[in-house]
Amino acid sequence: MPPDILFDLDGTLIDSSPGILATFERVLAAHGLRAAVPLEASLIGPPLAVTLRRIAGLGDIGDEALLGRLVEAFKRDYDTAGCLSTCAFDGVAEGLAQLADGGARLFIVTNKRMVPTRRILEALGLAHRFAGIHTRDETEPMAPSKSAVTQRVIDLYGIDRGRAFFVGDSDEDAAAARENGLRFIHAAYGYGAAGIPQGLPSVVASRPCIVLDHFARLPDIVDAFSREGCALHERP
């Protein structure tokens, strides 16, 4: 039986850093602010308000009115211009096609908002590969975490946790896999190059995991793990 594979988006399938960082810079400048931390790809991943609070130097308890204006300004800029400066990582289009053609069901689970998520996937010609595209902001109230979105996807599509994988580049992705009983594959290219350093074995507990250094290897990795799982189930 083909597996189900849940994918993080930013830093796993796409490099959206040029557009996101440029939008951050424009939004800060428009509000007379300077970045409190270097604007680099490692900032990308957490919810938008969390990241904007950090780069604007607002602290844990800052100016909520200003933060709200920054969030709305970011959305306007990024949804119209910033998101168009996005590309897929090498091997993603081919790898997704191979997985889908082999019968795997593919899903997106991301902190990114639905509007730019769909616009980017459609612009890159990847949207049709996914059985479901899911974000924290697709529900009201917004899902509290990526793990909660993962659980919703599992329930909605009747996913067999024993035959499913979560592919991502961050501690948050690893936690979503662990908390939902999924095998975790760490995308160590792109933003994940420095991610989940020594914590990788512990965050996935006893579930097997592997570091993915190039997306093109993913179909073979999934096939190997799936065969291993089938062999374990078939033992007397």
CATH number at residue 113: 3.40.50.1000
Which of 43, 59, 84 delimits the end of a domain? 84
220 and 116 together in one domain: yes
Its domain, for residue 68, covers 17-84
Alpha-carbon gap, residue 199 to 229, rounded angstroms: 24
141 and 217 together in one domain: yes
168 and 57 together in one domain: no
Going by their DSSP bridges, the two strands 164-168 and 132-135 should be labelled as: unpaired
Alpha-carbon gap, residue 111 to 49, rounded angstroms: 11
Q: Spell out the per-residue pLDDT of the chain, length 236, in tens.
A: 899 999 999 999 999 999 999 999 999 999 999 999 999 988 887 889 999 999 999 977 668 999 999 999 999 999 999 999 999 999 999 999 999 999 999 999 999 999 999 999 999 999 999 999 999 999 999 999 999 999 999 999 999 999 999 999 988 999 999 999 999 999 998 776 655 444 444 344 435 468 899 999 999 999 988 877 654 333 33
- The CATH number covering residue 75 comes to 1.10.150
Alpha-carbon gap, residue 136 to 110, rounded angstroms: 7
Distances (CA, A) of 108 to 15, 16, 31, 37, 96: 15, 15, 33, 29, 12
For residue 141, whether the previous peptide bond is cis, meaning omega lies within 30 degrees of 0, is: yes
51 and 118 together in one domain: no
Which of 63, 84, 105 delimits the end of a domain? 84
180 and 74 together in one domain: no
Q: Is 132 helix (H, G, I), strand (E, B) or coil?
A: strand
* Closest C-alpha among 166, 135, 161, 162 to residue 148: 135
Alpha-carbon gap, residue 210 to 177, rounded angstroms: 13
Name the pTM for this structure.
Answer: 0.86
Which of 69, 84, 99 delimits the end of a domain? 84
Q: Into how many domains does the chain fold?
A: 2
